[in-house]
Structure 1
Amino acid sequence: MTIQPIHAAEAGESVAGDPALRALVVAGIAAAAAEAVDRDGRFPAEAIAAAKAQRLMGLLVPQALGGEGRSLAEVAEVAYRLGRACASTAMIFAMHQTKVACIVDHGTGSPWHAALLRRLCDEQLLLASSTTEGQGGGNVRSSAAAIEPDGECVTLDRAASVISYGAEADGVVTTARRAPDAQPSDQVLAVLLREDYSLERVSGWETLGMRGTCSAGFRLRARFRPEQVLPERYPAIHAETMTPVSHILWSSAWAGIAAGAVERAQAFTRQAARGAGGQMPPGAVHYGRAVSSLKTLRALVADALSRHAATAADPRSRAGLDFQTAVTMLKVEVSELAVTTVGSALRACGLAGYRQDGPFSIGRSLRDILSAPIMIHNDRITQNLATTALLATVPAGLAD
């Protein structure tokens, strides 16, 4: 399966209008480089440069601040299309947009953050995320490093076990304890630009898949202005924006990876049937399962987007147990079903899918999608959800 770019637009020429059409331009460039990105474990520089050229970095930023004010559904569509081409590109795009959403939802009343969003749109800045730290791993609701006063500025010294594409980003959005005497869960979110921090690499990123995200570990040392901290405490940001947006956009990217694998399985099945005089190959049953699973994946994402849109008038309602349960389990369900979908596509293609070479290879898709259940481990998520659910009342009826 080969995703072709729109011939009327090269990487440096923006296609006006629908972000989905612009995503096709980027997807064509990402697909052409995806094998090299995976093989060399390198940042997908061509694809991200194309995304910047197509002005995709500020899609969620309001028009009044220089962005396009696009909906989360439109951004999810871009993540899906990129996922079909290059998993690392799609995940980088999804993580960046999650950080932008946090600033838009919780920082536009701050002059510093409003100015940052204008600059982001003007320069098409790429923001990385630093929410995992030390031995805490994926527990994003706990921070060890604290913001400390330093004259008119504040400092932060953080052992970040993972900062995806940190060395390539134009800025980092990081969690931290509010103050040296604050509890680990008393967190804030700070926006740092390149001139504010230094990164010392402390670990590499030699992984099975998602190799192009370059999610190495760093020691982050920063000195910045206090106003760069978002005015709202992180618990609210996490519940209202970070969790729903990240889970929806990650799920869209994973569904896109699955769609790419299903498309290869379809091409193989068609070719095999033609070669056998119309008789379906033995793996056709697995292709049928892959198609069905992909439909379910897309439906799960669509339902989450509908739930998110329904709370637009009252974003604080997203902190409620029903919404949080649904959007939390979206990540779990989509990540696991996407693995199943790609596995079915592999079995549909048989040896042709198992091979690393050839047009029907599913190997890269499988290695990439295996990261989904362990990117903030599903067991951690379901355990935390079970603890929270103990405080809720079990519904007595369907209408409750």
Structure 2
Amino acid sequence: MNVLRKIEAAPLTEAPEAATERMRRVAEIAAGHADSVDKEGRFPAETIEALKRERLLGVAIPIGHGGEGIGTMQIADLIVQLGQACGSSAMIYAMHQIKTSSFVTHGGASDWHRAYMRRIADEQLLMASATTEAGIGGNLRNSICAVEVARGRFALTKEATVISYGNYADAVLATARRAPDAASSDQVMVVIPADGDRTLERTSVWDTLGMRGTCSDGFHLVATGDARQIFPKPFSEIAAQSMLASSHIFWAATWFGIAADAFNRAQAFVKAAARKQPDAMPPGALRLAEAAALLQEMKGHLTAAIHRFEAAAGDDDALSSIGFAAEINALKVAASEKAGAVVRLAMLVNGILGYKNGTPFSVGRHLRDVTSAPVMISNDRILSNTATLMLMSRFDTGLGG
């Protein structure tokens, strides 16, 4: 059940204000509640209400379906803005946009999914994901559960070990085997609206080191509905052509935002020290320069991946290529490791004031949030997948793209 109060957001009748300015207002709200969201392990309801009020949940939906049609680079930049305010809020927004990208890229051929895209934009609906499952060890390209289709209806039961913000989402996009006799990798994805025929029974509680506000509880999911809610394309194509890239790009944007805010706090600390002793180099200045180099590497890798993804848009062969998959995998691994390194350097720069909570230089929440990055789809699993890809291709040493 979605426990957020309904936000009254009138449909746009003129060109919307710049999304970055609207996100600036959301980020101010998110920053004001970030510490309580983290401390209490609660859903950032104030942030999501603000996102809905500012009409930022449907910005990627094509203009023809009621959205604003903004691209991957702009979405990533919005996530970075929010990540500098609250890591949990940014991760929720990132995951929503990952699911929205599946509609944008693969929903155009289906009347049902086109209509639901319009609902996302008009009603500012929040999308969640149910790809993990008990017994598959985090491998989203395999499922144990299966959809059963009969007389135009589907039925699905799934033991989802994690559904981030599942109790608060307006719909869950769940993966499953195409049929009870299908192979584990022969998957489909189905849209399961909260206002449809479904139940979510919580089976585990999200009590974690960081990213506490994502409320990624485990659930026993049972749903039935119109068979047209199943995406026409196989999930293998959805994953390869939109979900893999958008996941790693938008997650990397989240981690970049968190790291950037930690860096900003460290920079403020060093500047304050320099003002006190203008004739001496502050002790943390060299560490700050090291963090700046890492942050610039993250930015360069992220923007390069986005440019390649946008250049390949509409080219299924390019999006499914070994080289593209290897590059996107590398982005996830590198961003997750560098974000942690930047925050740790910020902690060293800020010292005890960075270690303590409640100071202008505190980075403890940032550190705990970015520790999720290497295990959010294990880096070892991703590197293993890349190693397999490298056995089938040569590394491209050219600089021309």
Counterparts of 1:314 and 1:170 in 2: how far apart (Å)?
31
C-alpha contact 1:12 1:50 (8 A) present in aligned 2:
no
| Matches for 1:79-228 after TM superposition, within 5 Å | 79-194=79-194, 195-228=196-229
1:128 is paired with a residue whose SS is strand
C-alpha contact 1:133 1:143 (8 A) present in aligned 2:
yes
Distance 1:391-1:120 versus aligned 2 partners, 3 A rule: same
Q: More displaced, 381-390 or 243-252?
A: 381-390
1:174 is paired with a residue whose SS is strand
Residue aligning to 1:387: 388
Q: More displaced, 389-398 or 77-86?
A: 389-398
Pairwise CA distance, 1:398 = 8.0
Residue aligning to 2:329: 328
Distance 1:46-1:12 versus aligned 2 partners, 3 A rule: farther
C-alpha contact 2:313 2:319 (8 A) present in aligned 1:
no
Counterparts of 1:346 and 1:119 in 2: how far apart (Å)?
44
2:135 is paired with a residue whose SS is helix
Q: More displaced, 107-116 or 14-23?
A: 14-23
| Matches for 1:1-400 after TM superposition, within 5 Å | 16-194=16-194, 195-393=196-394
Pairwise CA distance, 1:276 = 2.5
Counterparts of 2:259 and 2:379 in 1: how far apart (Å)?
19
Give the TM-score taking structure 1 as reference length.
0.94
1:295 partner amino acid: Q
C-alpha contact 1:283 1:350 (8 A) present in aligned 2:
no
Q: What is the aligned-residue identity percentage?
A: 46
C-alpha contact 1:269 1:280 (8 A) present in aligned 2:
no
C-alpha contact 1:137 1:161 (8 A) present in aligned 2:
no
Q: More displaced, 91-100 or 151-160?
A: 151-160
Pairwise CA distance, 1:151 = 4.2
Counterparts of 1:47 and 1:12 in 2: how far apart (Å)?
15
Counterparts of 2:209 and 2:269 in 1: how far apart (Å)?
25
2:169 is paired with a residue whose SS is coil
The CA RMSD over aligned residues, in Å, is 1.9
C-alpha contact 2:143 2:187 (8 A) present in aligned 1:
yes
Pairwise CA distance, 1:396 = 9.1
Counterparts of 2:398 and 2:246 in 1: how far apart (Å)?
30
Pairwise CA distance, 1:399 = 8.4
Counterparts of 2:355 and 2:291 in 1: how far apart (Å)?
16
Pairwise CA distance, 1:278 = 4.2
Distance 1:347-1:107 versus aligned 2 partners, 3 A rule: same
Counterparts of 1:395 and 1:63 in 2: how far apart (Å)?
37
Counterparts of 2:347 and 2:57 in 1: how far apart (Å)?
33
1:305 partner amino acid: I
Pairwise CA distance, 1:104 = 1.2
Pairwise CA distance, 1:284 = 1.7
Counterparts of 1:397 and 1:170 in 2: how far apart (Å)?
45
Counterparts of 1:315 and 1:93 in 2: how far apart (Å)?
26
C-alpha contact 2:9 2:55 (8 A) present in aligned 1:
no
2:260 partner amino acid: A
Counterparts of 1:264 and 1:397 in 2: how far apart (Å)?
38
